[in-house]
Amino acid sequence: MKHSGARKRESTILELSPWQIAGFGLYVHWPFCQSKCPYCDFNSHVAGQQDEEIWEEALRRELRRYHALTEGRVLSSIFFGGGTPSLMSPSLVERVIFEATRLWRPSNDIEITLEANPSSAEAEKFRSLRLAGVNRVSLGVQALRDDDLRRLGRLHDVKTALRAIDAAARQFDRFSFDLIYARQDQSEDQWARELEEAIAIGSNHMSLYQLTVEEGTAFGDRYARGGLRGLPDEARSVALYAITQELTTGANLSAYEVSNHARSGHESRHNLIYWRGGDYVGVGPGAHGRITDAAGRRVATEAKRDPAAWLSAGLKGYAEAERTELSPEETAEELLLMGLRLAEGVSLDRLRKQTGFHVTENAIAYLQALNLIDLRDQTLRTTDEGRMLLNSVLSKLDLLPVSDKPATKTVAKTTGAGR
Ligand SMILES: C[S@@+](CC[C@H](N)C(=O)[O-])C[C@H]1O[C@@H](n2cnc3c(N)ncnc32)[C@H](O)[C@@H]1O
Ligand code: SF4
């Protein structure tokens, strides 16, 4: 379906900008790890000590460049992700926070999260990180069973993970930890016992991901050779997911997003910016960003992935590899793709106003009849079943321009795990 430029623009102009509706955040990617986990396809590289002054300079330059495009916004969150950002020195973290909050006015309740691996050396860093301005940590615990930690190629054991959780709880009012389930040879009973132990730790937030075997990883290669035995079939995956929902809901930690569980008020504000279609700046190798300008144009940015290439480009003042203006239709697809991951769903009124597209009544009726979505108060939500079958739901959600003749477009697919 073709649209004139003027109509396209008109339909994207909002009364409020996405950053005012859903927040404005900063993502900082630190791409280094002590070792490469066999399941991981994130932009992470094993490397020794870095020259942090040079990294700081490149990060500052990127921050200033993005600030010029987003002046006047209030910064509601900063997220240091990786890789392993707990390998950064607290003083580098502090200087990045200082520069970001000098450029953008921070909200009174700004959330500053850092992903940490639970090695004991890093746990000792928590106090310095708190003094540097970090107020939330997300710990990569991954499993509460030593055998499984070994199979996942992790450097820590359960004892170390529990010590790190304890240290995080002492230093931070808000912390979260990640577990990976649907592991090799993991039965429903075993996962239920492990999850009960995890819940008993008492954190207000947990991210619970089903193990995804990604192409191009060591697990992916092993799987292709028939070597990664004991992974759950479809039926066991569904059962493991159902156990996860049942036990977390019973403990007041129901899923506010496909893989993320929190007590009310303890949700990750940074990740909510992504899922609610807010704006965010991404700096560091491979970081993604979404920025909406005053005319409603939404731009997707992606930084150079290779750390050395990013660093040298960043020092010269421009480390982006790609910048794409999203069409209103692509913006609508993304709002659904991200928003339907959330239990709170997507406002159809906002979808229409921001993008000029709406979901066809036929598609809604079809998915409602299958009990996969629910429409109340102009808000489209996935049901528990629908969230489990998110890719299928999205593939059935046809979009139409608000005032146009029928012509359909199908929403792109996404992966199951939160990434
Ligand atoms: C990119 S990692 C960064 C955190 C930190 N480096 C760590 O590993 O603990 C973010 C989270 O993604 C999850 N994750 C990464 N790869 C995954 C996979 N293949 N399947 C499921 N979860 C995965 C893990 O739970 C991990 O904690
Ligand atoms: S899972 Fe975390 S620690 Fe392991 S390689 Fe990936 S980013 Fe690094």
pLDDT tens sequence across 194-246:
999 999 999 999 999 999 999 999 999 999 999 999 999 999 999 999 999 99
Q: Which CATH topology does 17-274 take? A: TIM Barrel (3.20.20)
Q: What is the mean pLDDT of the chain?
A: 92
C-beta of 289 in contact with ligand 2 (< 6 A) = no
Counting ligands in written order, the one closest to the CA of 84 is 1
Tens-digit pLDDT profile for residues 162-181 = 999 999 999 999 999 999 99
C-beta of 260 in contact with ligand 1 (< 6 A) = no
What pLDDT score was predicted for residue 124?
73
What pLDDT score was predicted for residue 120?
64
Q: Which secondary-structure segment (H or E) carries 312?
A: helix 307-316
What pLDDT score was predicted for residue 17?
87
Q: Are 116 and 86 in contact (CB under 8 A)?
A: yes
Counting ligands in written order, the one closest to the CA of 214 is 1
Q: Where are the domains of the chain?
A: 17-274, 335-419
What pLDDT score was predicted for residue 10?
44
Calculate how far, in angstroms, residue 40's C-alpha sits from the geometric centre of ligand 1: 7
Judge residue 282's burial from the number of C-beta atoms within 10 Å of its C-beta, 0-12 exposed, 13-18 middle, 19 or more buried. buried
Q: How confident is the model at residue 18 (pLDDT cuts 50, 70, 90)?
A: confident
What pLDDT score was predicted for residue 403?
79
Calculate how far, in angstroms, residue 43's C-alpha sits from the geometric centre of ligand 2: 9
Q: Are 30 and 87 in contact (CB under 8 A)?
A: yes
Q: Whose CA is nearest to atom 26 of ligand 1?
A: 140
Nearest-angstrom CA–CA distance, 285 and 305: 5
pLDDT at 15 over 80: no
C-beta of 119 in contact with ligand 1 (< 6 A) = no
C-beta of 212 in contact with ligand 1 (< 6 A) = yes
Q: Which atom of ligand 1 is nearest to the CA of 219?
A: 19
Query: How many C-beta neighbours within 10 Å does residue 63 have?
Result: 19
